[in-house]
Every structure is written in C-alpha cells, then in structure tokens.
Amino acid sequence: MPSLRFALAQFDFPVGAVAANAAKVGDLLAQARDGGAALVAFPELTLSGYPPEDLLLRPSFLAACQCELNALAGGTNGVAALVGHPHSEGEVYNAASLLRGGTIELTTHKQALPNYGVFDDKRYFRPGHDSAVATIDGVRVGMLICEDIWQPEPAAKAAAAGAELIVVINASPWDDAKQSSRENVLTARALETGCAIAYVNLIGGQDEVVYDGGSLLVNADGSIAARAPNFVDAMLWAEFDSETRTLRAENWPTAADACTEATLYAALVRGIRDYIEKNGFPGVLLGLSGGIDSALTLALAVDALGAERVTAVMMPTRYTSQLSLDGARAQAERLGVDYHIINIEPMVDAFLGALTPAFAGKAPDTTEENLQSRTRGVTLMALSNKHGRLLLATGNKSEMAVGYATLYGDMCGAYAPLKDVYKTVVYRLSRWRNEYAARIGEPEAIPSAVIDRPPSAELRDNQTDQDSLPPYDELDAILARFIEGEQSQAEIASQGFHADTVRRVVRLVLLNEFKRRQSAPGPRVTTRAFGRERRYPITSGWK
C-alpha cells in the first residue's frame, strides 16, 4: 500500500506582506523538497495573511496575491504545495490551491464561512460548494480550509470522493479553551469519515488575535498521533500509511512546559512581540507602579523584546507607598530595563491650583484621584512621543469589565497585554513566572512582595481595590459567568452569589462599555474578549 511523506508549515505569514509571504513559501518549498516531502501544506490565506479584512476590497491587493501564486507554481517541480490565498473570479473566495509540476493544478474554495466571535468571513467571501481530492504519491488526499472541518458535510464530501487523508489548512486563533475543542472536532470527523487528518495552523500575533500553531495529526480511528507545541515556528514532517490510515510524526518539537499558565504566558509574549515588531516600533515603555499588573506587564515585555527595548517609569505622589517604590525599583533593576522615577506631585498640584476656582464649593472626590492618573498618562505619552517607544497599558480584564480604570489616565496606551486577562489569572501567571525562573536558576521576575500585597490604585490614603470592588475571586467568578457564559443575573445568583453583588457587577459591566470602546487593543486569550468579539451597544435601554 502507498505511503505519503509530507510537511506542515507551522509559521507566521503577516497580514498584507504579500511579497514577503510568497518569498517565505518559496524557501519552505525548497526545504520540503530537500527533505523528501511529496507535499507541503501552508496555513489558511498564507499569501495575504489572516485576517486581511478590508484589504480584500482592494483589487490591487487581490491581484498581487494572484501574481505571487502564479510565480510560486513555477517552483513546484519535485514537490506539491497546498497554499492558502484569496481568489477573485468576479466574486472573492477564501481559497487553497494545489501547486504541482510548475502549474496551479486545482483551486478549492472554503465552504463553511464563520461569522461569529472574531470571524467575519461572510463580509468578504462567497462560499465554495465542493471538497477537492487529489492523488499524491498514490494517496488520495482531501483538502479543506479551517471552518470546513468544524462542519460534517465538507469532510463527508471528501471521503465520498475517495479521500484517505484529509489535509486541513487553518488560521485558528488561540484561546484558553481552543485546543481541547479542536481535538474533539478532529476526532469526530476522523471517526465519521474513516479518514486520517493532518491539521496545520497559522502562528503569530495579528492585532487582537494570536495564532498558536498547535498543529495536529489524527489517525482514522480518532486517536491523536501528534501534537505540535503552541507558539513555536516549525516545519513539521509526517508520514501517512495508507493501509492502516495512521500518521507518524518525525522529530516534532515538544513544549518545555505545556501547563495552562505556560501556554497563556507564551500567547501574551507572542502578542506583544509581533505587535511591536510588525508595526516597526523600536521598543516599549510602561508605568511601573509597584502593583502586580504593571509588574507582570514588565516581565512579559522583557521576555518578548529583551530588556534593552523596555523602559519603565515610576511616577510617585504622596500616596505612593514605600513598598511600591521598593518593589518597582527592585524589579526594574533585576530585569535590567531602562528605569526612571518622575515625581508627579508638582504637576498634580499645578493642575489642582489652576482648577481651584472652577471647583469652588465642590468637595474632593474621585475627580482628584483621576487627575493623578491622568497626569501619569500625560507624562507617559510625552515620553512615548519623545523616544518613539510604544506605550503599553497595564490594566486587566476585571478592571476593564467594571470600569475600574481612568480614561486618558491608566487606560493610556497603544497596546494592552492584559486586557483579556482576569485579575485572578494575573496572580496565577505571576506566580508561574517566578516558579519558572526558579526552575532555570534565575531570580524572581516579579518581587514576591508585589504579588503578596493587597491590590491598590494608591490614589488616596490607605486605599485598596476592595474598597470599591468585591474580592477578586468573587468578582472574576461573576464576570466569567456573565461575559464568557452569557448567564443571566438570576442564573449567576443561583450558584451561590449574593443577588445584590451580582446586580451591582452586571450594572458596572453594562455602564462601562463607553470606556472599553476607547481602550487599546490587546491579545484575545479567552472565549469572549472585549473588542472585536464581544460587541455590545454603548447606548442601550436594556438592563
């Protein structure tokens, strides 16, 4: 019985970099040919990058993708390639072409167009209707695109056309529940069709989404033959045995640590690195307060970019504790970043002095607290402008959800690494990062004193977050049920939460949509991220 040696190209193909993406495909084609592969499969929309969004409305962009595809076809003597690209023939399709023998042998179109979560395929593409099957080295290979494998019909069509192996090219964004759901779907399709499945996925950060790779080999009996590590660029070699319909991985890389925290941390690091590098910024800066959110953000930034590309700024006032000053300095020195202390007390006093006549007869309130935060925002933006380093916002998802953040203050920034990370998860990640440091013989990345202290914005004397919010364990449990779970207030209260607390938290979430609309983008890592995924109206009478 025939066997097929093939490769899966788990790499990053940035949006809009059509010529560079084509050049990378050409290099990997040569590598696959030299390695004896009969076929190499690339991710969904390899040439355009995913998601290209309204670039797909530009005829010149579509023409450039087609031009590069035609050129690549000429280099396929000795190896076949399955390449994702947009295909325009009056209508625009999300397509994959089999390049072989110097020509475009066939082009197939994505049949199932997702229009949920972060996906918007129906805005741009028309659906295909058929599943392509080709014979490669005597093996009947079906070819599907991403969402096609999540529905039974496209795989069933491929099997009916004689496919023994189905190769699926994907641009599937990562979230904290994605890997298990992928494996469940692929197992179901294999069992339904009797076909083995090779699943190759895109890798890299693109604005608010992060692609993890995590490519998979699934035998015809539904068993997982191999898992590629998340967030590792790699050429993955495999062998398919037609008689047993089984797959064998050849020297695939393995993850050093595959726990939940390690994978999430890697997602955030990849999101930061790709956002900064793909947009051409020389580095980043952030306000380092001595609190856990900015401490974790600093550690992530250093791991993503290197200490030499990171600036941290402490901006104390009379309310800043010695613990905060000591913790910020200790971390900045330990990680080796460029560190500055700028006392903003005189600036705040100047603002208050200028505003005193207009504030006459008004008692102090959160206005004065927010003024401190906004003074920090002005200071950081000035440094960003002067030095060309991108400002990172350090707020977390719990704060974004309930509006515990100051517009034009601590919400200032062009990228927010923790925007989709709940506060309780911030603590878990911080502890994991220190445990990892201990395992590799390095000092703590985040001072323990910063992790162990009660969280505080330090905008007034003896302030803690819990003066204004429920304890974070309780708050995050309610938020996850309301946001990710879409549960009603009654459903949440029935699970042991006080009805008044639930009502208050839900009210804060609904009231603060206007703030979230003005927040920086950040990497999506949960199943229901604010921004392009969870889109509620700002103005709404529904409570």
Instruction: For residue 423, indicate whether it is catalytic.
Output: no
Instruction: For residue 44, indicate whether it is catalytic.
Output: yes
Phi, psi of 114 (to 5 degrees): -70, 140
| Short-list 86, 4, 96, 2, CA closest to 41 | 96
| Helices of type H across 121-245 | 121-124, 152-160, 178-193
End-to-end CA distance of the chain: 64
Query: Could you tell me whether strands 234-241 and 3-10 are parallel, antiparallel, or unpaired per DSSP bridges?
Result: antiparallel
Total residues found in the chain within this entry:
543
The annotation status of 515 as a binding-site residue, yes or no, is yes
The annotation status of 512 as a binding-site residue, yes or no, is no
The annotation status of 211 as a binding-site residue, yes or no, is no
Whole-angstrom distance, CA of residue 495 vs CA of residue 152: 36
Find where tokens 């726990």 sit.
Answer: 259
The annotation status of 294 as a binding-site residue, yes or no, is yes
The annotation status of 288 as a binding-site residue, yes or no, is yes
The annotation status of 223 as a binding-site residue, yes or no, is no
Q: Which of 24, 68, 110, 533 is catalytic?
A: 110
Please spell the DSSP secondary structure of 287-306, one letter per residue.
E--SSHHHHHHHHHHHHHH-
Contact 219/196 with Cβ under 8 angstroms? yes
The annotation status of 419 as a binding-site residue, yes or no, is no
Burial class (CB in 10 A: 0-12, 13-18, 19+), 54: exposed
Helices 423-439 and 292-305 pack at an angle, to 10 degrees, of: 50
Phi, psi of 406 (to 5 degrees): -105, 120
| Short-list 44, 41, 84, CA closest to 173 | 44
Please spell the DSSP secondary structure of 110-140, one letter per residue.
------STT--HHHH-------EEEEETTEE
Query: Could you tell me whether strands 103-109 and 132-136 are parallel, antiparallel, or unpaired per DSSP bridges?
Result: unpaired
The annotation status of 36 as a binding-site residue, yes or no, is no
Contact 128/107 with Cβ under 8 angstroms? no
The annotation status of 24 as a binding-site residue, yes or no, is no
**What is the b/e burial string over 242-260, where b = at least 16 CB atoms within 10 angstroms of the residue's CB?**
beebbbebeebeebeeeee
Instruction: For residue 259, indicate whether it is catalytic.
Output: no
The annotation status of 72 as a binding-site residue, yes or no, is no
Q: What is the CA radius of gyration of the chain?
A: 26
| Short-list 236, 256, 238, CA closest to 248 | 238
The annotation status of 201 as a binding-site residue, yes or no, is no
Helices (H) then strands (E): counts for the chain: 17, 19
Helix or strand run (H / E) with residue 381: helix 366-387
Give 205's strand partners.
210
The annotation status of 370 as a binding-site residue, yes or no, is yes
Q: Which of 24, 44, 369, 423 is catalytic?
A: 44
Backbone φ/ψ region at 441: left (φ over 0), alpha (ψ -120 to 50), beta: left
Mention every residue, 6+ apart, whose C-beta is less than 8 A from residue 256: 262
Please spell the DSSP secondary structure of 231-251, one letter per residue.
T--EEEEEEEETTTTEEEEES
Q: Which of 24, 68, 146, 423 is catalytic?
A: 146
| Short-list 420, 386, 424, CA closest to 519 | 420
- Residues annotated as catalytic (active site), given as ranges: 44, 110, 146
Residues tagged in the binding site annotation for ATP? 287-294, 394
Residues tagged in the binding site annotation? 116, 172, 178, 287-294, 370, 394, 399, 515
Residues tagged in the binding site annotation for deamido-NAD(+)? 370, 399, 515
Residues tagged in the binding site annotation for L-glutamine? 116, 172, 178
